[in-house]
Structure 1
Amino acid sequence: MNMIERTRPRSGLRVLVTAGASGIGKAIACAFREAGAKVLICDIDEDALGTFAKDFPDVLTRVTDVSDETQVDQLLAMASEQLGGLDVLVNNAGISGPTGAIDELSVEEIRRTLDIDLMSQFLVLRRALPLLRANEAGTIINISSVAGRLGYALRTPYAAAKWGIVGLTQSLAKEAGPDGISVNAILPGVVRGARIENVIRSRAESLGISYEEMEAQYLSQVSLRRMVEPEDVAGMALFLSSPAGANISGQAISVCGNVETI
């Protein structure tokens, strides 16, 4: 196998991507599909999932709220039955959470962010690990954020969850490593798409400035002065699942153009 071949995942990988119907998740799911993987995605957005299924009928889909234990159990049962097992898990589901000072946030807003962004990864992992262990090998990729390495004023629940994902990743890498399973976190930066537009808009409103001013502030804090594309994150996920990435584990890898502060 030459070096170029080593940077590509092998064909036929069985891959689960949570929140895979749009944004980063969709880019990752499509990248694995193009690489010859058998892919299952879930999403809570039925309309987005329906559109994805229409565009990519060879990809398995399931409506799932990953913060619900029963629904997650059913999702992983589907992976076992219809994929025949699991080689790669991409824990991608998450929400932006509320914007505001911590003493202005409701307990419900805080709990929902932690449940969807962090607790959901635990729920998926506890059912996915037995499938990965059955292969005596596997790849886990947890999607965190640059907010998982930098303090993020006015976005404390989100940042707390994303830092938690990094701790989960580094701890699980030690736990699952003896079974041949690599565990890494990808930390995207300012990723082009609807989600960052909503974040910028909410933050601009909270600070009383225009959307354009807020967007300029975000990009001024990125060394490369540009947004990341969803496909950039997908490319890293493919690499970590390839032979060339087989010995990378326990890492928090930023794909962000070097976000300096947020």
Structure 2
Amino acid sequence: MNVVESLTPRQGLRVLVTAGASGIGLAIAKAFVQAGARVHVCDIDSEALAALPDGITHTRCDVSREDEVARLFDDARALGGLDVVVNNAGIAGPTAGIDEIDHASWTQTIDINLNGQYRVAHRAAPLLRESQGLLVNLASVAGRLGFAYRTPYAASKWAVVGLTKSLACELGPDGVRVNAILPGIVRGPRIEKVIEDRAAKRGISYAEMETENLSKISMRRMVEPTDIAAMALFLAAPGGTNISGQALSVCANVESL
């Protein structure tokens, strides 16, 4: 196999993507389908699931609920096993000072962003051992940088990086690779809401907040959902065979938040 061939995942990979009906998750699901994979996704948005392209099967699932995650894996059995699991489900959480964040908002953010990844990894590990497969956990550049007024989100994403590195050590002897992708400011409705909330908290305009955010990126631009999908594909390709335990930023070099 030459170097160029090593950049393409093999045909027929069996892939599960959480929160795969929109945004980054949908971009990843579509990319794997285009690469010849069989893809199953979950999401909490029933309308988005109904609008999925042909060739992507799905389950409605809230990863904060153990019973729903169990049903997700029951449904995914139709793939006959799993080669790649993409732990993508997460929420932005509140934008507020630590003394303003209520217990319920903090707990919900941790339960979805961190405990949800545990629930999926818990059930995925035996299947990935069988296939000597790949687990990809979606973290964030907020998992390597401080993020004022977004403490539950940042705390959960730092924890995802720790989870990733620990699972890479634990599962590596069984041939399973585990990596985290750390997206930067990804273009789309979700970041627009984050910018709007931070602008309101700071008492500045949306345009001023967006300009300030971009000024902290050395390349002065947002990244696209397809950039994150491209990294996931590379990790699943033969060229990614010896990459494990890594926290890989796809962010145009975010220097601070």
TM-score for both structures, normalised by structure 1: 0.97
- Please tell me whether residue 187 in structure 1 is matched to residue 179 in structure 2: no
> How is 1:47-62 mapped onto 2 (pairs within 5 angstroms)?
47-52=47-52, 56-62=53-59
- Please tell me whether residue 222 in structure 1 is matched to residue 217 in structure 2: yes
- Displacement, 1:162? 0.1
> How is 1:84-95 mapped onto 2 (pairs within 5 angstroms)?
84-95=80-91
SS at match of 1:254: strand
Q: Which amino acid aligns with 1:63?
A: R
> How is 1:241-260 mapped onto 2 (pairs within 5 angstroms)?
241-260=236-255
CA distance in 1, matches of 2:170, 2:104: 32
User: 1:38 aligns to what?
Assistant: 38
Q: Which amino acid aligns with 2:175?
A: G
Q: Which amino acid aligns with 2:245?
A: G
Q: Which amino acid aligns with 1:90?
A: V
User: 2:159 aligns to what?
Assistant: 164
User: 1:64 aligns to what?
Assistant: 61
Q: Which amino acid aligns with 2:92?
A: S
CA distance in 1, matches of 2:183, 2:198: 19
- Please tell me whether residue 99 in structure 1 is matched to residue 95 in structure 2: yes
Percentage of identical aligned residues: 60
- Displacement, 1:235? 0.2
CA distance in 1, matches of 2:208, 2:81: 48
CA distance in 2, matches of 1:72, 1:191: 27
CA distance in 1, matches of 2:253, 2:5: 28
1:7-47 CA distances to partner (integer Å, 9 max, x unpaired)?
11101000000000010000000000000000000000111
SS at match of 2:99: helix
Which of 100, 110, 113 does residue 109 from structure 2 map onto?
Answer: 113
SS at match of 2:135: strand
User: 1:20 aligns to what?
Assistant: 20
User: 1:74 aligns to what?
Assistant: 71
- Displacement, 1:49? 1.1
1:98-120 CA distances to partner (integer Å, 9 max, x unpaired)?
00001101100000000111100
Q: Which amino acid aligns with 1:93?
A: A
Q: Which amino acid aligns with 1:21?
A: A
User: 1:155 aligns to what?
Assistant: 150
Q: Return 5+ residue gaps in structure 1 as ranges.
A: none
TM-score for both structures, normalised by structure 2: 0.99
Tell me the number of residue pairs that the alignment of Structure 1 and Structure 2 aligns.
257
Q: Which amino acid aligns with 1:200?
A: I
CA distance in 1, matches of 2:133, 2:50: 29
- Displacement, 1:252? 0.3
CA distance in 2, matches of 1:221, 1:48: 33
- Displacement, 1:77? 1.6
- Displacement, 1:230? 0.4
SS at match of 1:239: helix
SS at match of 1:186: strand
